[in-house]
Chains A and B, each alone.
Chain A
Amino acid sequence: MHPIIAIILNRLVLGIVTLFMVSLIIFISIQMLPGDFAEAILARAATEETVAALRKELGLDRHPVLLYFDWITALMSGDLGNSYTGRGVIGADESRAVFDLVAPRLKNTLFLASFAAIIAVPLSLFLGITTALYRNSAYDRIMNMSTLTTISFPEFFIAYILILFLTSLFPIFPSLANVDADTEFFERLYWSALPALTLTLVILAHMMRMTRAAIINLLASPYIQMARLSGATPRELILKHALPNAWAPIVTVITLNLANLVVGVVVVEVVFVYPGIGQLMVDAVASRDIPVVQSCALIFAMTYILLNLLADIIGIVTNPRLLHPK
């Protein structure tokens, strides 16, 4: 078998094991909840019998191992369980399936994240490569200062600065992202412009700096020195000699930052009241709607793991040394 396939298979298996462990951790930590859901749903005044009955109805009285296997097999078939909100008294069950709650919001979040990524990725690559080429110039120093500054800003600071200027002082964009399933594409772009812009600024600086560092690191290696001494032009140096080896670090940088984007989305969605999965999770945490928290956490973790796995695999596949084994 080609060594690359073996390595990739190895990573895939590791990724699946990690996912399994993560689901276990999320499940166990939620099992440690003081009291339990039954008590949390019913008011404090509930009698012991009502609590016991609800516990039985929800299936909470069984062994935790059984609960875990139930949960995980249901997950495999796409059933995320039922939300606890809307469940007032026993019998009157108006709770909704978590899947119905999560699915449309997940779509919104993915839209927002890809919107931000489509702007941020090419821009940061361009800035990273040019600052690496003209390093220590005035351009590089200004970019260095400003990216260092934006990295240090909390997401909500960037968001509110944008709101202050683009909504409050100069009403160009709306401050609340009023998006639903029927919103048309261009209208959707308009409504989610500010959140997307915030996210772009959040990840741009990181991505740019890491790209710059990767390229500079590479330019210092002996074979580049050799190429330079043998008379390669700067353009040849970058395109022919440096880039083939730089793809792995650059792609890793991009995917890692997209993974960060997944987290940045939570705060940004809350600021702009964007109906995405991050906001859903924060609300569910506040109301202790455990099935929703569980599902959201799992979705976030899954995206994060998959992106990291992707970074790993792309790094392996584009590594020239592995591509041509002796």
Chain B
Amino acid sequence: MSQEPNTYSALGEVGAVSEKRSLWQRLMLDLRKAPMTARFGMIVILGYIILAVFAPILSPYGEAEVFPEPYAAWSAEHVFGTDQIGRDIFSRMIFGARNTVGIAVATTLLAFIIGGSLGLAAAINQSWLDQFLSRAVDVLMAIPSLIFALVLLSIFGSTVTNLILIIAVLDSTRVFRLTRAVSLNVVVMDYVEAARLRGEGLWWIMRREILPNIMPPLIAEFGLRFCFVFLTIAALSFLGVGIQPPTADWGSMVRENASLIMFAQYDIKAGLTPLLPAAAIALLTVAINFVVDWFLHKTSGLRDEQ
């Protein structure tokens, strides 16, 4: 908030034609002001999206193509060598971007659809529905989600659909809490009351009156939730109960090649191989965190300028 009393003129303000900057212009202005970390984050995210979309074109070999030599060293043919049954690790890393990231995006979206709409409904309703949903969420959140996911996956089996559904439901509890909390501040506003008196339905009030006003925290939460979901899925795959082979996935790739790390003394490249997929996971989450951090700083009241 900067006030410049010297340059203010009521006449000037009334006289000037107010020109609204277009969305694109505002975006460019914001981007120019973004710190280095946020720019770095955005470039990395863009890179991952390109990799995921054009995976079949970019990768030299197929996702499950097996070559005769397992555990081959890094070479011109196999940039990062081959894995325990002779699949090209570089190609699997590229396909991993599509599988791992794609599944995480789908899960996060589903979690937001479930948690967001229930949270909005609970905030508007504020009676039995709110009570019921809030208590149910309390109980669900009392179980650590990785543990709960382990139990459920062992029961329903580790298919991709089950994975997405289970993690989305478990994570929607957190989205529910946030959405409900931020919309409670908006629900009491006069314009919501006005819309209600006008006779608008629940859906209209949710979508047109409240949602636009709670977007910034929700967008930031989307980024953070995505990271959390992404790491959970990677952990589950690493534990062997997430995405199943032969689908290329970063979490299980780490596990499959983990033993190579002990050869680092003799061949540092072999030692690095199992770290590559893990680093791919880490890089994406770091990038998203940087962007979210900047976004939060820009939009929220949680500034620390003093």
Contact = CB atoms under 8 A, between A and B. Distances in A.
A121 interface: no
B139 interface: yes
B144 A300 contact: yes
Contact of A297 (B147, B231, B262, B268): B147
Contacts of A29: 151-152, 155
Given A160-B254, A262-B144, A301-B144, A220 B279 contact: no
B234 A154 contact: yes
B275 A152 contact: no
B241 A160 contact: no
A118 interface: no
Contacts of B241: 282, 285-286
Interface in A277-311: 281-282, 285-286, 288, 293, 296-297, 300-301, 304-305, 308
B239 A282 contact: yes
Contact of B146 (A34, A219, A266): A266
Interface string B237-248: 011110000000
Contacts of B156: 32, 34
A277 to B, nearest CB: 11
B158 to A, nearest CB: 10
A18 B139 contact: yes
Report the interface size class on chain A.
35 or more
A154 B282 contact: yes
Contact of B148 (A161, A213, A262, A297): A297
A164 B275 contact: yes
Given A216-B304, A267-B238, A156 B254 contact: yes
A301 B145 CA distance: 10
A168 interface: yes
Interface string B270-296: 011011001101100110111001000
The SS class assigned to the B binding surface is helix
B155 A160 contact: no
Nearest to A217: B302
A300 B147 contact: yes
A154 B278 contact: yes
B227 interface: yes
A163 interface: yes
Contacts of A293: 150-151, 154
A22 B141 CA distance: 10
B146 A152 contact: no
A21 B141 CA distance: 11
The SS class assigned to the A binding surface is helix
B142 interface: yes
A301 B147 contact: yes
Given A18-B138, A216-B304, A25 B143 contact: yes
A286 B240 contact: yes
Interface residues of B, number: 53
Nearest to B140: A25
A239 interface: no
B37 A285 contact: no
A10 B145 CA distance: 25
A135 interface: yes
A154 B283 CA distance: 10
Contacts of B255: 156
A26, A160, A217 pick with most chain B CB within 10 angstroms: A160
A304 B146 CA distance: 12
Contact of B235 (A19, A32, A156, A167): A156
Interface string A217-246: 101100000000000000000000000000
Nearest to A32: B155
A168 B265 CA distance: 6
B286 A157 contact: no
A156, A164, A286, A293 pick with most chain B CB within 10 angstroms: A156
B237 to A, nearest CB: 10
Contacts of A168: 261-265, 271
B106 to A, nearest CB: 19
Interface stretch (A97-105, A143-151, A183-191): A143-151
B22 interface: no
A21 B282 contact: no
A163 B254 CA distance: 13
B9 interface: no
Contacts of B85: none
Contact of A304 (B143, B272, B282): B143
Nearest to B283: A152
Nearest to A219: B306
A267 B235 contact: yes
A136 B239 contact: no
Contacts of A267: 235, 238-239
B147 A157 contact: no
B174 to A, nearest CB: 13
B227 A266 contact: no
Contact of B279 (A157, A175, A270, A308): A157
Contact of A154 (B142, B151, B152, B235): B235
Contacts of B234: 154, 156
A139 interface: no
A164 B262 CA distance: 7
Nearest to B272: A164
A33 interface: yes
6 contacts: A25-B140, A25-B143, A152-B286, A157-B275, A164-B272, A282-B240
Given A152-B227, A267-B239, 12 more contacts: A29-B155, A32-B156, A154-B234, A155-B235, A157-B281, A157-B282, A164-B272, A168-B264, A168-B271, A285-B241, A297-B150, A300-B144
Interface of B: 37, 138-140, 142-148, 150-156, 227, 231, 234-235, 238-241, 251, 254-255, 258, 261-265, 268, 271-272, 274-275, 278-279, 281-282, 285-286, 288-290, 293, 302, 304, 306
